[in-house]
Structure 1
Amino acid sequence: MRDHLVSFALVTATTVLLQSGAYAARPCAGSSGGSFKYRLGDVRYDSPDPSKADGRSTIAASLGQTPLHECVAQWPESWAGWYEGGSNLIWADCIFTGAGLTQDETVSFAVDWKSKTMYLAHTFACSDRQGSEGLATGSIKLDFNCTSAEDSSFCVLKGTTAGARPTLSITTKLASTASNTTSTCAEASKQYQSWKLENWLRKIEMEPGSSPTNPKVVSDTGPSFSLRNLADGSQLSCTPSGQNNGIFVGACQGSSGTGTSADFSFDTKLNMLDISQHWKCDDSSSFDAVGIFYMQAACDRGRNSDQFTCTSLPVWIGTGVV
């Protein structure tokens, strides 16, 4: 089941990247009052596969009736949804399956496995604020039944007294985002920090005949991408500067005079992207924001080639609970 869920997400990512990427606008206020609802389908947690040495758990969820989005993340079991078991929540993409219609450009989720809380965030064009973008966030507490076996364990949503799947939904509410003008540093420090990541690009060369499940990498450029901070509107361009033992590091440069910059690291073994943005407000004040993302990208192999080009549709990266 675990491998099926992950494989489905990766195949879906490839399919979605081939689509037009057009999204319908939705009202950011008006009759909905800035409130939106997602139906929650299956949610499943799988403990690490004992046949693999990575020790990673898998959390997967379906959103919508069709379902419209499939959400999958993996992290070392001991982390329980928090980067290195610390204070930074791990976000991941919910991939649009192409079934039905979507009004969202990005949908992301995170799960605090200790408290069994699922968080959701999505971005979309605002039909009532032309040229602007909405961000809505929400959360839900989940109740699981867990089954342990000799070689593995898994958890699924607890059913009703009649044994049926529970009817659950996540309500999200509009969050504050940047206006057309850049927010001041003092204003941005009081807002929830998050980024829209776009233009992800990574090029990998494998040894001839290398298997995707046991890849032998000849060269890897590491990722380059752009970030737009949704709290203050700042734009950053990110490029790698080096790597050590499969972990790439790099810097993100903002526009001249904006007083902000960022650093990133990308762990190619865990697919973890760590973003840290820094603001220098004046001579005496500054603040930082950190976001962690489980990054899945579709990799296209050139015909009769051992070169892979990895890209992604836009994704949303948060900085903690919402």
Structure 2
Amino acid sequence: MGRSVGSLALAATAFLSCIVEGARVCGNGTSPASGSFQHNLIDVRYDGPDPDKDLGVSTIAVALGSGSTPIYECVAQWPEAWGGWYEGGSNAIWSDCIGTGAGFGQDKTVSFSVDWKTKTIRLTHSFDCSDRQGSEGSASGSLAVDFECATRDGAMYCIPKLTSAGARPALRISTSYTSAPKGLDCAAGSVGQNSWRVESWLRRYEMAPGTSTPGAPLPKDTGPSFTLRSLPTNTTFNCATTQHRNGTFDGSCKSPSPSAPAGSAEFSFDSRLNILKVSETRDCDGRKLSAVGVAYYQSICDRDFNSVFFTCTADPLWIGAGAS
């Protein structure tokens, strides 16, 4: 016999309670709430490029959780020479932390970036505000990790240095509430601390049965389309691919709202490296202000039923501008 109406109601109430508890007090919008959050780094590992592959990418993997249970798995890749910064410049490469299903995540998005030169891991997470319905808050923090490295089969790998007693160190990132982001400001002539959220990611391509990796370029590849939300102004852009060149897709983003601030956005996606670059430009009476964000973008690609086509989707991803 199926569940009773009463038991279903209790289950629904418990589920809704979890959602409410996931929201956090954010403050009045000008001064953020006080307090901090602790995130255990259960596992951290860096792997240098595989000598048997020609992309030359490094991989950093972090497991976040409560106690010894991983709640989020975070993975990023970039060419070794970049060291966690787009083309070795001033734009950090952000990546999504994906829920493992082992616990109820309290955040809408969890993103991390790594400065490999200083061995610093930065974490930013966003959440609903319990004291300001319809608003979101965020918190961020960083941790410098002392790594020790070795080489195996021609490839370097690094793990956190053991304590003097030979035990794994207890690593935690403490994040604190951040003020409401200030984006492109024409009056002040300032770029501010712009940030975006990528939502509704969609890409379709054809891949013959038996092919193990997509590679690039692929036949009949639509390139990505997605929604780009500029968080400081809550401006929404609809983004779509406009051209394809040697595995890289370029696209434009348009706001469907006539009341949106005067400006534009565009993107490029390197399908070989899975690197997404977004840029937003504000027109300030003839002057232009621009902000750029970069991410290692992970998506899940499933073969369509009885077809040679794959459809790729992804969870929402927070991206910060520059080094933020």
Question: TM-score normalized by structure 2?
Answer: 0.85
Q: Contact 1:178–1:233 (CA<8 Å) still a contact in 2? A: no
Judge conservation of contact 2:33–2:177 (CA < 8 Å) in 1.
no
- Are the counterparts in 2 of residues 247 and 268 from structure 1 also a CA contact under 8 Å? yes
- Residue number among 143, 147, 151 corresponding to 2:146 in the alignment: 143
The answer to whether the Cα contact below 8 Å between 2:61 and 2:76 also exists between their aligned partners in 1 is: yes
**For the Cα contact (< 8 Å) 2:184–2:194, is it kept in 1?**
no
Q: Structure 2 vs 1, CA of residues 69 and 87 (structure 1 numbering), >3 Å: closer, same or farther?
A: same
Residues in 2 aligned to 1:265 and 1:298: alpha-carbon distance in whole angstroms? 19
The aligned counterpart of 1:305 is 307
Is the aligned partner of 1:279 residue 2:277? no
1:239 and 2:240 aligned: yes
For the residue of structure 2 that corresponds to 1:172, the secondary structure is strand
State the identity as a percent: 52
Does the CA-based 8 Å contact 1:206-1:216 persist in structure 2? no
What secondary structure does 2:133 align onto?
coil
Whether the 8 Å contact between 2:216 and 2:271 is mirrored in structure 1 is no
One-letter identity of the residue aligned with 2:308: D
The residue aligned with 1:92 is 95
8 Å Cα contact 1:207-1:216 kept in structure 2: no
CA displacement at 1:183 relative to structure 2? 9.0
Aligned counterpart, 1:70: 73
- Distance across 2 between alignment mates of 1:256 and 1:184: 19
Matched-pair contact (CA < 8 Å) for 2:185–2:191:
no
Equivalents in 2 of 1:68, 1:216: separation in Å?
35
Q: Is the Cα–Cα contact under 8 Å of residues 107 and 121 in structure 1 kept in the other structure?
A: yes
- Amino acid in structure 2 at the alignment position of 1:193: N
Q: RMSD of aligned C-alpha atoms?
A: 2.4
**1:175 is aligned to 2:173:** no
Q: Which has the larger radius of gyration?
A: 2
Aligned-partner Cα distance in 1 for 2:228–2:254? 10
Following superposition, the deviation at residue 217 of structure 1 comes to 2.7
Query: What's the offset of the Cα at 1:34?
Result: 4.6
Matching residue's letter, 2:167: A
Q: CA 1:98–1:186 in structure 2 vs 1: closer, same or farther (change >3 Å)?
A: farther
2:201 is matched with which residue?
A: 200
In the TM superposition, residue 44 of structure 1 has moved relative to its aligned partner by 0.6
- SS of match in other structure, 2:220: strand
Kept after mapping to 2: 8 A contact 1:73/1:92: yes
Give the structure 1 partner of residue 14 of structure 2.
Answer: none
Asked if the contact 1:264–1:275 (Cα under 8 Å) also holds between the matched residues in 2, the reply is: yes
| Post-superposition CA distance 1:259-300 (Å, at most 9, x none) | 1211100001000001011011224x4311000000001112
TM-score (norm: length of structure 1): 0.86
Q: Report the count of equivalent residues.
A: 298
Structure 2 Cα separation of the partners of residues 276 and 289 of structure 1: 6
Residue 110 of structure 1 pairs with residue 113 of structure 2 = yes
Map of 1:37 onto structure 2: 38
**How far off is 1:178 after superposition?**
6.1
CA contact (8 A) 2:291 2:322 kept: no
Contact persistence 1:299–1:309 (CA under 8 A)? yes
